[in-house]
Protein backbone atom coordinates (compact mmCIF):
# COMPACT_ATOMS: atom_id res chain seq x y z
CA UNK A 1 0.00 0.00 0.00
CA UNK A 2 1.41 3.39 -0.93
CA UNK A 3 -0.52 5.46 1.64
CA UNK A 4 -2.24 7.62 -0.97
CA UNK A 5 -5.85 7.82 -2.10
CA UNK A 6 -7.19 9.40 -5.30
CA UNK A 7 -10.66 10.90 -4.79
CA UNK A 8 -12.98 12.29 -7.46
CA UNK A 9 -16.57 13.51 -7.39
CA UNK A 10 -17.68 15.31 -10.53
CA UNK A 11 -14.99 17.72 -11.67
CA UNK A 12 -12.72 18.86 -8.85
CA UNK A 13 -11.33 21.51 -11.15
CA UNK A 14 -14.67 23.31 -11.25
CA UNK A 15 -14.83 23.52 -7.46
CA UNK A 16 -11.21 24.58 -7.53
CA UNK A 17 -12.27 27.74 -9.37
CA UNK A 18 -14.31 28.72 -6.32
CA UNK A 19 -11.36 27.89 -4.08
CA UNK A 20 -9.01 30.15 -6.02
CA UNK A 21 -11.47 33.03 -6.15
CA UNK A 22 -12.49 32.95 -2.49
CA UNK A 23 -9.40 31.55 -0.83
CA UNK A 24 -11.72 29.66 1.48
CA UNK A 25 -10.58 26.08 0.87
CA UNK A 26 -7.08 25.66 2.35
CA UNK A 27 -5.01 22.56 1.65
CA UNK A 28 -4.13 20.70 4.84
CA UNK A 29 -1.31 18.31 5.66
CA UNK A 30 -3.31 15.23 4.62
CA UNK A 31 -3.98 16.68 1.16
CA UNK A 32 -1.18 15.93 -1.29
CA UNK A 33 -3.01 17.48 -4.25
CA UNK A 34 -6.04 19.70 -3.69
CA UNK A 35 -8.61 21.50 -5.87
CA UNK A 36 -7.75 22.35 -9.46
CA UNK A 37 -7.31 18.96 -11.17
CA UNK A 38 -9.68 16.19 -12.20
CA UNK A 39 -9.16 14.49 -8.83
CA UNK A 40 -7.50 15.15 -5.50
CA UNK A 41 -4.82 13.04 -3.83
CA UNK A 42 -5.15 12.53 -0.08
CA UNK A 43 -2.64 10.77 2.14
CA UNK A 44 -3.73 7.52 3.81
CA UNK A 45 -0.89 6.60 6.20
CA UNK A 46 -2.80 3.62 7.58
CA UNK A 47 -3.28 2.14 4.11
CA UNK A 48 -7.05 2.06 4.67
CA UNK A 49 -9.53 4.88 4.04
CA UNK A 50 -12.76 5.42 5.96
CA UNK A 51 -15.42 6.90 3.63
CA UNK A 52 -18.91 8.20 4.38
CA UNK A 53 -21.38 10.38 2.49
CA UNK A 54 -24.57 12.34 3.18
CA UNK A 55 -27.06 14.32 1.13
CA UNK A 56 -28.86 17.44 2.39
CA UNK A 57 -31.81 18.90 0.50
CA UNK A 58 -33.31 22.32 1.10
CA UNK A 59 -36.73 22.09 2.71
CA UNK A 60 -36.06 18.56 3.93
CA UNK A 61 -32.88 18.90 5.97
CA UNK A 62 -32.56 22.68 6.35
CA UNK A 63 -34.32 25.94 5.59
CA UNK A 64 -32.50 29.03 4.40
CA UNK A 65 -34.92 31.26 6.29
CA UNK A 66 -33.93 29.49 9.52
CA UNK A 67 -30.21 28.93 8.95
CA UNK A 68 -27.46 31.00 7.36
CA UNK A 69 -25.19 29.67 4.65
CA UNK A 70 -22.43 29.48 7.23
CA UNK A 71 -24.60 27.43 9.61
CA UNK A 72 -25.57 25.03 6.82
CA UNK A 73 -21.94 24.57 5.79
CA UNK A 74 -20.94 23.76 9.37
CA UNK A 75 -23.85 21.34 9.75
CA UNK A 76 -23.23 19.56 6.43
CA UNK A 77 -19.57 19.02 7.26
CA UNK A 78 -20.25 18.07 10.88
CA UNK A 79 -22.66 15.26 10.17
CA UNK A 80 -20.13 13.58 7.88
CA UNK A 81 -17.06 14.19 10.03
CA UNK A 82 -19.00 12.76 12.97
CA UNK A 83 -19.60 9.53 11.04
CA UNK A 84 -15.85 9.21 10.48
CA UNK A 85 -14.96 9.58 14.17
CA UNK A 86 -17.78 7.14 15.03
CA UNK A 87 -15.65 4.49 13.29
CA UNK A 88 -12.74 5.40 15.57
CA UNK A 89 -10.95 7.23 12.74
CA UNK A 90 -9.42 10.68 12.33
CA UNK A 91 -11.03 12.81 9.56
CA UNK A 92 -8.67 13.92 6.80
CA UNK A 93 -10.84 15.68 4.21
CA UNK A 94 -14.22 16.21 2.61
CA UNK A 95 -15.43 16.47 -0.99
CA UNK A 96 -18.51 18.61 -1.66
CA UNK A 97 -21.10 18.45 -4.44
CA UNK A 98 -23.43 21.45 -4.69
CA UNK A 99 -26.64 22.15 -6.57
CA UNK A 100 -27.43 25.86 -6.27
CA UNK A 101 -30.12 28.24 -7.55
CA UNK A 102 -28.76 31.47 -9.07
CA UNK A 103 -29.52 33.65 -6.03
CA UNK A 104 -27.40 31.39 -3.80
CA UNK A 105 -24.27 31.56 -5.95
CA UNK A 106 -22.76 34.80 -4.59
CA UNK A 107 -22.26 35.87 -0.97
CA UNK A 108 -24.32 32.97 0.33
CA UNK A 109 -21.90 30.51 -1.30
CA UNK A 110 -18.98 32.27 0.35
CA UNK A 111 -20.65 31.84 3.75
CA UNK A 112 -21.40 28.18 3.03
CA UNK A 113 -17.78 27.55 2.06
CA UNK A 114 -16.57 29.31 5.21
CA UNK A 115 -18.75 26.92 7.19
CA UNK A 116 -17.21 23.88 5.50
CA UNK A 117 -13.72 25.20 6.17
CA UNK A 118 -14.25 26.14 9.83
CA UNK A 119 -15.87 22.81 10.73
CA UNK A 120 -13.05 20.91 9.03
CA UNK A 121 -10.51 23.03 10.92
CA UNK A 122 -11.85 21.61 14.20
CA UNK A 123 -10.52 18.16 13.27
CA UNK A 124 -7.55 19.09 11.10
CA UNK A 125 -9.31 18.09 7.88
CA UNK A 126 -9.56 19.98 4.58
CA UNK A 127 -12.04 20.56 1.77
CA UNK A 128 -10.25 18.84 -1.10
CA UNK A 129 -12.67 19.73 -3.89
CA UNK A 130 -16.07 18.98 -5.37
CA UNK A 131 -18.50 20.02 -8.07
CA UNK A 132 -21.14 22.72 -8.59
CA UNK A 133 -24.19 22.73 -10.82
CA UNK A 134 -27.32 24.83 -11.19
CA UNK A 135 -30.43 23.53 -9.42
CA UNK A 136 -33.88 24.84 -8.48
CA UNK A 137 -33.07 24.50 -4.78
CA UNK A 138 -29.97 23.98 -2.66
CA UNK A 139 -28.69 20.40 -2.67
CA UNK A 140 -25.50 19.53 -0.79
CA UNK A 141 -23.65 16.23 -1.02
CA UNK A 142 -20.66 15.74 1.27
CA UNK A 143 -18.25 12.82 1.26
CA UNK A 144 -15.84 12.62 4.20
CA UNK A 145 -12.60 10.66 4.42
CA UNK A 146 -10.73 9.40 7.45
CA UNK A 147 -7.65 7.51 8.59
CA UNK A 148 -7.69 4.75 11.22
CA UNK A 149 -4.14 5.35 12.42
CA UNK A 150 -3.47 1.65 12.78
CA UNK A 151 -6.62 0.98 14.83
CA UNK A 152 -9.35 -1.44 13.87
CA UNK A 153 -12.62 0.23 12.85
CA UNK A 154 -15.30 0.29 15.56
CA UNK A 155 -18.46 -1.03 13.92
CA UNK A 156 -22.06 -1.48 15.02
CA UNK A 157 -21.82 -5.25 15.27
CA UNK A 158 -19.47 -5.82 18.22
CA UNK A 159 -21.74 -5.25 21.24
CA UNK A 160 -21.96 -8.23 23.57
CA UNK A 161 -24.18 -9.05 26.59
CA UNK A 162 -22.70 -7.46 29.69
CA UNK A 163 -21.27 -4.44 27.83
CA UNK A 164 -22.01 -0.97 29.16
CA UNK A 165 -23.86 1.46 26.88
CA UNK A 166 -22.57 5.05 27.11
CA UNK A 167 -23.02 8.35 25.31
CA UNK A 168 -21.01 11.53 24.89
CA UNK A 169 -22.14 14.87 23.48
CA UNK A 170 -25.49 16.63 23.51
CA UNK A 171 -28.79 14.77 23.28
CA UNK A 172 -32.12 16.38 22.45
CA UNK A 173 -30.83 19.90 21.92
CA UNK A 174 -31.23 19.95 18.14
CA UNK A 175 -34.71 18.41 18.34
CA UNK A 176 -35.75 20.98 20.94
CA UNK A 177 -34.38 23.79 18.76
CA UNK A 178 -36.33 22.53 15.76
CA UNK A 179 -39.50 22.33 17.87
CA UNK A 180 -38.96 25.91 19.01
CA UNK A 181 -38.56 27.10 15.42
CA UNK A 182 -41.73 25.29 14.39
CA UNK A 183 -43.44 26.95 17.36
CA UNK A 184 -42.34 30.41 16.20
CA UNK A 185 -40.11 30.96 19.23
CA UNK A 186 -36.64 32.50 19.38
CA UNK A 187 -35.65 31.35 22.87
CA UNK A 188 -33.81 29.55 24.34
CA UNK A 189 -31.47 30.68 21.59
CA UNK A 190 -28.81 28.11 22.50
CA UNK A 191 -31.18 25.29 21.55
CA UNK A 192 -32.03 26.90 18.21
CA UNK A 193 -28.30 27.29 17.58
CA UNK A 194 -27.90 23.58 18.37
CA UNK A 195 -30.33 22.76 15.56
CA UNK A 196 -28.57 25.08 13.15
CA UNK A 197 -25.03 24.02 14.03
CA UNK A 198 -24.33 20.74 15.85
CA UNK A 199 -21.24 20.24 17.99
CA UNK A 200 -20.13 16.61 17.62
CA UNK A 201 -17.67 15.38 20.27
CA UNK A 202 -15.03 14.66 17.66
CA UNK A 203 -12.20 13.70 19.98
CA UNK A 204 -14.30 11.05 21.69
CA UNK A 205 -14.47 8.67 18.73
CA UNK A 206 -10.76 7.78 18.61
CA UNK A 207 -10.79 7.92 22.42
CA UNK A 208 -13.51 5.26 22.57
CA UNK A 209 -11.60 3.11 20.09
CA UNK A 210 -8.49 3.33 22.29
CA UNK A 211 -10.56 2.31 25.33
CA UNK A 212 -11.69 -0.84 23.56
CA UNK A 213 -15.22 0.15 22.56
CA UNK A 214 -16.99 -2.90 21.15
CA UNK A 215 -19.41 -0.87 19.01
CA UNK A 216 -20.08 2.77 18.25
CA UNK A 217 -22.18 5.06 16.07
CA UNK A 218 -23.08 8.66 15.49
CA UNK A 219 -26.49 9.63 16.91
CA UNK A 220 -28.09 11.30 13.90
CA UNK A 221 -31.60 9.83 13.74
CA UNK A 222 -32.34 9.58 17.47
CA UNK A 223 -30.67 7.58 20.24
CA UNK A 224 -33.43 4.95 20.52
CA UNK A 225 -33.52 4.28 16.79
CA UNK A 226 -29.76 4.40 16.28
CA UNK A 227 -29.06 2.01 19.16
CA UNK A 228 -31.57 -0.26 17.49
CA UNK A 229 -29.07 -0.54 14.62
CA UNK A 230 -26.40 -1.64 17.12
CA UNK A 231 -28.76 -4.19 18.65
CA UNK A 232 -29.69 -5.59 15.25
CA UNK A 233 -26.13 -5.72 13.93
CA UNK A 234 -24.82 -7.25 17.17
CA UNK A 235 -27.73 -9.68 17.53
CA UNK A 236 -28.23 -8.52 21.09
CA UNK A 237 -30.64 -6.48 23.19
CA UNK A 238 -30.08 -3.08 24.77
CA UNK A 239 -31.73 -1.76 27.93
CA UNK A 240 -31.61 1.97 28.69
CA UNK A 241 -32.11 3.43 32.17
CA UNK A 242 -33.95 6.78 31.91
CA UNK A 243 -32.73 7.68 35.40
CA UNK A 244 -29.21 7.86 33.98
CA UNK A 245 -30.07 10.72 31.63
CA UNK A 246 -29.21 14.17 32.96
CA UNK A 247 -31.81 16.53 31.48
CA UNK A 248 -30.23 19.89 30.68
CA UNK A 249 -32.02 22.92 32.22
CA UNK A 250 -32.48 24.43 28.75
CA UNK A 251 -34.39 21.33 27.67
CA UNK A 252 -36.58 21.65 30.76
CA UNK A 253 -37.22 25.30 29.89
CA UNK A 254 -38.13 24.55 26.28
CA UNK A 255 -40.33 21.64 27.31
CA UNK A 256 -42.23 23.93 29.66
CA UNK A 257 -42.79 26.46 26.88
CA UNK A 258 -44.00 23.85 24.39
CA UNK A 259 -45.72 21.39 26.68
CA UNK A 260 -43.28 18.67 25.63
CA UNK A 261 -41.34 15.87 27.32
CA UNK A 262 -37.59 16.66 27.32
CA UNK A 263 -36.67 12.98 27.65
CA UNK A 264 -38.54 12.31 24.40
CA UNK A 265 -36.22 14.76 22.65
CA UNK A 266 -33.21 13.01 24.17
CA UNK A 267 -34.36 9.53 23.20
CA UNK A 268 -35.92 10.21 19.80
CA UNK A 269 -34.49 13.52 18.61
CA UNK A 270 -31.76 13.47 16.00
CA UNK A 271 -29.08 15.74 14.54
CA UNK A 272 -27.08 16.42 17.70
CA UNK A 273 -24.45 13.99 16.39
CA UNK A 274 -23.55 12.72 19.83
CA UNK A 275 -21.70 9.40 19.95
CA UNK A 276 -23.10 6.22 21.49
CA UNK A 277 -20.83 3.27 22.20
CA UNK A 278 -20.66 0.02 24.09
CA UNK A 279 -17.72 -0.87 26.31
CA UNK A 280 -16.68 -4.08 28.04
CA UNK A 281 -17.83 -4.26 31.66
CA UNK A 282 -15.17 -2.83 33.94
CA UNK A 283 -13.77 -0.24 31.55
CA UNK A 284 -13.25 3.05 33.37
CA UNK A 285 -15.05 5.66 31.31
CA UNK A 286 -13.60 9.19 31.01
CA UNK A 287 -15.75 12.01 32.45
CA UNK A 288 -17.10 12.98 29.02
CA UNK A 289 -18.89 9.62 28.72
CA UNK A 290 -22.09 8.79 30.62
CA UNK A 291 -23.24 5.21 31.16
CA UNK A 292 -26.94 4.97 30.28
CA UNK A 293 -27.64 1.25 29.99
CA UNK A 294 -26.35 -2.20 29.19
CA UNK A 295 -26.34 -4.90 26.55
CA UNK A 296 -28.35 -8.07 27.17
CA UNK A 297 -29.33 -11.29 25.50
CA UNK A 298 -32.38 -10.77 23.33
CA UNK A 299 -33.12 -8.17 20.69
CA UNK A 300 -34.15 -4.58 20.21
CA UNK A 301 -33.95 -1.60 22.56
CA UNK A 302 -35.98 -1.18 25.74
CA UNK A 303 -36.27 1.83 28.03
CA UNK A 304 -36.91 0.81 31.62
CA UNK A 305 -40.40 1.80 32.69
CA UNK A 306 -41.15 3.68 29.50
CA UNK A 307 -43.02 2.44 26.42
CA UNK A 308 -41.34 3.50 23.19
CA UNK A 309 -42.58 3.27 19.62
CA UNK A 310 -40.26 3.24 16.67
CA UNK A 311 -38.92 6.69 17.56
CA UNK A 312 -36.30 8.72 15.72
CA UNK A 313 -36.06 10.23 12.27
CA UNK A 314 -37.43 8.52 9.19
CA UNK A 315 -36.15 9.94 5.89
CA UNK A 316 -39.25 8.70 4.05
CA UNK A 317 -41.90 10.08 6.40
CA UNK A 318 -43.75 13.18 5.23
Binding residues for substrate: 61, 271, 313
Say how far apart CA 67 and CA 26 lie, in whole Å: 24
Residue numbers in the known binding site for Mg(2+) are: 38, 52-54, 83, 131, 218, 221
The annotated binding site is made up of: 38, 52-54, 61, 83, 130-131, 156, 218, 220-221, 271, 313
Q: Enumerate the known binding-site residues for ATP.
A: 130-131, 156, 220
Amino acid sequence: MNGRCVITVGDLGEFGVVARITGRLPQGGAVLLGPGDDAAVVSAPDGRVVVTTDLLIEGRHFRRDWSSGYDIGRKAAAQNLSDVVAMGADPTGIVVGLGLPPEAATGWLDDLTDGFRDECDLVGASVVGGDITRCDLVVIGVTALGDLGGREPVTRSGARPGDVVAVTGRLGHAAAGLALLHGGRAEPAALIDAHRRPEPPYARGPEAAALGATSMLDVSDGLFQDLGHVAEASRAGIVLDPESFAVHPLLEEAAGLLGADPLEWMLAGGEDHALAATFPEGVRLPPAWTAIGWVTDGEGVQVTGRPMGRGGWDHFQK
